[in-house]
Amino acid sequence: MTDNIPLQPVRHKKRHDNKRRDGCCPWSRCCGGGDFRPRTVWLGHPEKREQRYPRNVINNQKYNFFTFLPGVLFNQFKYFFNLYFLLLACSQFVNELRLGALYTYWVPLGFVLIITIVREAVEEMRCFLRDKEVNSQIYSKLSTRGTVKVKSSGIQVGDLIIVEKMYISTFFSTVFHHKGSCFLRTDQLDGETDWKLRLPVACTQRLPTAAVSLVHDSFFVIKSHKREDGDPPVNESLSIENTLWASTVIASGTVVGVVIYTGKELRSVMNTSNPRHKIGLFDLEVNCLTKILFGALVVVSLVMVALQHFAGRWYLQIFRFLLLFSNIVPISLRVNLDMGKMVFSWMIKKDSKIPGTVVRASTFPEQLGRISYLLTDKTGTLTQNEMVFRRLHLGTVAYGMDSMDEVQSHVFSAYTQPPQDLQASRAPVATKVRKTISSRVHEAVKAIALVHNVTPVYESNGVTDQAEAEMHYEDTCRVYQASSPDEVSLVQWTESVGLTLVGRDQSSMQLRTPSGQILNFTILQIFPFTYESKRMGIIVRDESTGEITFYMKGADVVMAGIVQYNDWLEEECGNMAREGLRVLVVAKKSLTEEQYQDFEARYVQAKLSVHDRSLKVATVIESLEMEMELLCLTGVEDQLQADVRPTLEILRNAGIKVWMLTGDKLETATCTAKNAHLVTRNQDIHVFRPVTTRSEAHLELNAFRRKHDCALVISGDSLEVCLKYYEYEFMELACQCPAVVCCRCAPTQKAQIVRLLQERTGKLTCAVGDGGNDVSMIQEADCGVGVEGKAVFSSVFYFASVPLYQGFLIIGYSTIYTMFPVFSLVLDKDVKSEVAMLYPELYKDLLKGRPLSFKTFLIWVLISIYQGSIIMYGALLLFESEFVHIVAISFTSLILTELLMVALTVQTWHWLMIVAELLSLACYIASLVFLHEFIDVYFIATLSFVWKVTAITLVSCLPLYILKYLRRRFSPPSYSKLTS
């Protein structure tokens, strides 16, 4: 494979998920996996393949038909919290351990499992239907029998596929036949809304019988060359401009392409990790506390057996005591947690402030209240990917948005006034200076209008009608398309000042002057922008004068060594960059006919090289890039999404650190970070220098260590070197930064950064993205947010703790009598949502996890012991003469205490909470009819019973309420003043 076109997917040395991604099985070489080697692909003849390739099938499901039920059950019972209830239910099949009817244990557990299985089944079915829709998409395939229809899942390597407008490509192909150029939309792949220009292979345009000849003639692709075994044979090199990626859409035209990669070998698939089962931090904390309670349960059981001096079958007695006290951890807690999460998910979907939000995983919505690190994509997430031209700088003079009319007048005068060389020579000095500036402005605008990859597309009534609309170059029908929104903004700006791009194809370009004159230019060569070169160039011939000019634009770091010496370039580039503008340096060089012919011969020879082609081509181009004339600097601004700046400020005040992970270049990412106020004005930025060796990484890390309160900007290549040799040191320094920007990140690198943050800090992470290249990051994070369009997301969650109790009739107590009040606490709020958004510092309290800390847990255990003692010993003290009714006394006191404690816990009352309290009390009273064997209903109706039970309840609750009142008065929470 060559450097120009990465026909093979990226292979990574190490994967953290311990899964084979090179095929469907350990013997994946048989189906096209294993080591990727150069392949020969015969056009239209997949049967001639030399090896087997994977099917073109997309599968994003976590389970299949056979693994669904075992997988769901395993993910549920691999945690002690759920396994505890399963063991309790299974123990009831042993007659010597049975304490009651089987349904008292299996019905609640079955209810929980059914909810979980149904939820997982619905999510899997949705995923299956999405995959089926993609795999069933119909394409037209060229064969020896003509054009036939084929499903996406039936496409093979070597097939010639006709991809029509608005069709999503599900394979990686090379464009071989198309009348003129075409455009791709890649927003589903990388989130960028601009269109990418794609060109067909030149020799296929000369076929006598159009695309069908590709099947009947002897064409094949080997490495990155296309060859025709004809007489004489034709060899033509392929580049990135001849490729059609998977997960992209044909925006205009129709393309015939040969399939190169399919299925699991697609780059988008290999850069996406397998979806994993996620569990919330809250569930993990409850799981840990359950283990502690179980340990206490074992201790109590051993003590009870020890008091009996381990008499008889004491080991059996231990299990009986474990079962008897097992409801210290009520299964209703599991039901309430699942139901609460479903309510939280429903509230997110119905929130009017974030319309259109879809919750795809309802198992951990409370995670959004515990996020410490937010990792976000740039293009399409923080920015709209819409550029606006802001400044033109000529060295001695600069033009901003308020002075563009001056630029327009200079361009107008350059094309409307006849040359007056004689009068200009006799004019005063001031006039000469003015004319000089006018000519410099004209040259700069002309260069910007020519050095780009923009193509004007003419549309009429929503349908492209190139022939009719282009005939008159109608302004109302023209739309500019390019692979970069920067270039579109520059061409739109030249149109606004009078020089309009009205036509372009592969070999020519047309500009219209303010007077309506059409200037024709022949495109001799074009050098696209690459990450390595950081510049793009074009060689054009002016048809009216015959002049050949080499125009180039690029980043200041590379253009500084290409242009002629000047004393203002570096300073002005720095000034514009500090304003958050993306800066490009524009230069030109005039060539004679002999100079160009010499260059063209060397350039064509370099492009046909098999070995080191990129290096040879770059060397030839660099022979032109010397002593170029500096024309101007341009500054464009990337428009941010709505409310990005205040949102980032709120997140920062809430104690959340924001990291930006983007595949864009360093200069662009740095400008966006400044513009979005990801980096505050009083913070410095440390740009991590490119490193390739361990010693270089060591020196750069030491230099960064000496800086304080400094944001970090680092490229993906340097990041990989640092993580290879100094993973711990780098992550330690990066986590101390107020903000981190990682540019030129591969999708797998984004996921790796998320994983390292989780491992090194133990904090919760949230990933936000809008493209297919963000899927790995979103899946790896504790919370993943996929943004569609210009969506905005926010969430506020509150958690309330409740005590846990035991007693006779515990099943009814924990599932029916007290379920509704406890469940109604999901509606409780410490503060109003408006106040929480106004004071984001309150979020820091949630990050501490105090509602379920070990301290809080111990306090509630002590409260439970106190209240349980008051209820039991109070009943014995007040009802000593009526001991036979101890069950009615203690259980009624328990119910009333629970309802009262829930009421005292509420911060903000909701009418449903009152209904829940009354409904629970009504359920208990109604159930007395069925509990007559255990409870004397006539005894409960006596006045003595009522006031004694009331006394027990008040003694168990009132002191706690007094302590709570005193604590809030002398040590109020941070939000108490906001609620007054």
pLDDT (0 to 100) of residue 615: 85
Which helix (H) or strand (E) covers residue 250, if one does?
strand 249-252
* pLDDT of amino acid 6: 33
183 has binding-site annotation: no
338 assigned to a ligand binding site:
no
Side chain identity at residue 135, one-letter code: N
Q: 212 φ, ψ to 5°?
A: -65, -25
Amino acid letter, 827:
L
User: What stretch of H or E contains 467?
Assistant: helix 466-471
Provide CB contacts within 8 A for 726, sequence distance 6+.
697, 698, 701
Kindly provide the b/e burial profile for residues 563-579, where b requires at least 16 CB atoms within 10 angstroms of the residue's own CB.
beeeeebeebbebbbee
Residue 406, judged by CB atoms within 10 A of its CB (0-12, 13-18, 19+), counts as: middle
**What is the C-alpha separation between 247 and 132, in angstroms, rounded?**
15
Show the low-confidence residues of the chain (pLDDT under 50): 1-35, 420-434, 462-469, 789-806, 808-812
Nearest one of 499, 355, 504 to 441, comparing CA atoms: 499
Cβ neighbours for 833, distance < 8 A, ≥ 6 positions apart: 796
CB count within 10 Å of CB 557 equals: 14
- What DSSP string describes 911-967? HHHHHHHHHHHHHHHHHTTTTTTTS-HHHHTSHHHHHHHHHHHHHHHHHHHHHHHHH
Tens of pLDDT, residues 689-748 = 989 999 999 999 999 998 888 999 999 889 999 999 999 999 999 999 999 999 888 888
DSSP at 419? P
Please state, in angstroms and rounded to a whole number, the distance separating the CA atoms of residues 480 and 494.
Answer: 12
Domain ranges of the chain: 373-382+641-786, 388-415+437-458+477-637, 806-979
Spatial CB neighbours of 461, under 8 Å, sequence gap ≥ 6: none
Half-sphere CA count of 630, side-chain side, radius 13 A: 24
The answer on whether 363 is annotated among ligand-binding residues is no
pLDDT at residue number 634: 94
Rounded Cα–Cα distance for residues 929 and 918 (Å): 18
Residues 673 and 741 sit within 8 Å (Cβ to Cβ): yes
Residue 831 CB neighbour total at 10 angstroms: 20
Closest residue by Cα to residue 898 from 967, 966, 952, 947: 952
Residue 529 is assigned to a ligand binding site? yes
The answer to whether domain 373-382+641-786 has CATH 3.40.50.1000 is yes
Q: Coil, helix or strand for 455?
A: strand
- The answer to whether 679 and 711 have CB atoms below 8 angstroms apart is yes
CATH number of 388-415+437-458+477-637: 3.40.1110.10
For 797, how many CA atoms within 13 A lie in the half-sphere containing its CB?
23
How far is residue 770's CA from residue 191's CA, in Å, rounded to a whole number? 6
Helix, strand, coil percent values for the chain (each to nearest 5): 50, 20, 35
Residue 225 β-bridge partners: 222, 237
Return the structure tokens found at 231: 């007489």
Asked if residue 580 lies in contact with residue 390, where contact means CB atoms within 8 angstroms, the answer is no
Q: Considering 187, 194, 338, 377, which one is annotated as catalytic? A: 377
Position 624: which residue type? Answer: L
Strand, coil or helix: what is 244? strand
Beta strands 172-177; 255-261: pairing state: antiparallel
In 3D, which of 693, 756, 745 has the Cα closest to residue 722? 693
Is 377 labeled as ligand-binding?
A: yes
Say what the pLDDT of residue 821 is: 83
Number of continuous H segments (helices) and E segments (strands) in the chain: 35, 32
Residue 168 gets which letter from DSSP?
B
Is 582 annotated as contributing to ligand binding?
yes
- Residue 379 among known ligand-binding residues: yes
Active-site residue, 217 included:
no
744 is in an annotated binding site: yes
Q: Count CA atoms closer than 13 A to 358's CA, side-chain side.
A: 6
Length of the chain: 980
Instruction: Print the SS3 string covering 195-207.
Output: EEEECCCHHHHHC
Q: Is 116 annotated as a binding residue?
A: no
Per residue in 378-430, pLDDT tens? 877 888 877 889 999 998 899 998 889 999 999 998 888 665 443 443 344 34
Q: Are 912 and 343 in contact (CB under 8 A)?
A: no
- Distance in angstroms (rounded) separating the CA atoms of residues 258 and 246: 13
663 is in an annotated binding site: yes
**Token digits for 419?**
């040359």
- Those residues with Cβ within 8 angstroms of residue 893's Cβ, 6 or more apart along the chain or in another chain: 871, 874, 875, 949, 952, 953, 956
Give, for 125, the enclosing helix (H) or strand (E): helix 103-135
Q: How far apart are the first and last CA of the chain?
A: 70
Alpha helix locations (H) across 174-280? Answer: 187-190, 213-216, 267-270
Alpha-carbon gap, residue 451 to 28, rounded angstroms: 47
CB 735 within 8 A of CB 760: yes
Paired tokens of 855: 């301290």
Residue environment code for 103-133, b if the CB has 16+ CB neighbours within 10 A, otherwise e: ebbbebbeebbeebeebbeebbeebbeebee
User: What is residue 209's DSSP assignment?
Assistant: T
Q: Are 373 and 656 in contact (CB under 8 A)?
A: yes
Strand ordering across the sheet containing 225-228: 40-42, 219-222, 225-228, 234-237
Question: Which burial class, exposed, middle or buried, applies to 146 when counting CB atoms under 10 A from its CB (0-12, 13-18, 19+)?
Answer: exposed
Cα gap 794→837, rounded to integer Å:
9
Close Cβ partners of 181 (under 8 Å, ≥ 6 residues apart): 197, 198, 199, 200, 253, 455, 505, 506
Distance (Å, whole) CA 204 – CA 403: 49
707 marked as part of a ligand binding site: no
21 is in an annotated binding site: no
Residue 851 DSSP code: G
CA 673 to chain centre: 17
Q: Encoding tokens for residue 207?
A: 């076929």
Pairwise CA distance, residues 745 & 727, whole Å: 17
Residue 427 makes CB contacts below 8 A (sequence gap 6+) with: 435
Residue with tokens 């069709």: 167
Other beta carbons within 10 Å of 759: 11
The answer to the question of whether 254 is labelled as a binding residue is no
Q: Which residues of 179-200 are buried (b: 16+ CB within 10 A; e: fewer)?
A: eebbbbbbbbbbbbebbbbbeb
Q: How many beta carbons lie within 10 A of that of residue 216, not counting itself?
A: 12
SS3 837: helix
Q: Are 43 and 176 in contact (CB under 8 A)?
A: yes
Q: Is the peptide bond before 54 cis (omega within 30 degrees of 0)?
A: no
Relative orientation angle of helices 68-77 and 103-135, to the nearest 10 degrees: 130
Task: Give the C-alpha separation, 437 to 416, whole Å.
Answer: 17
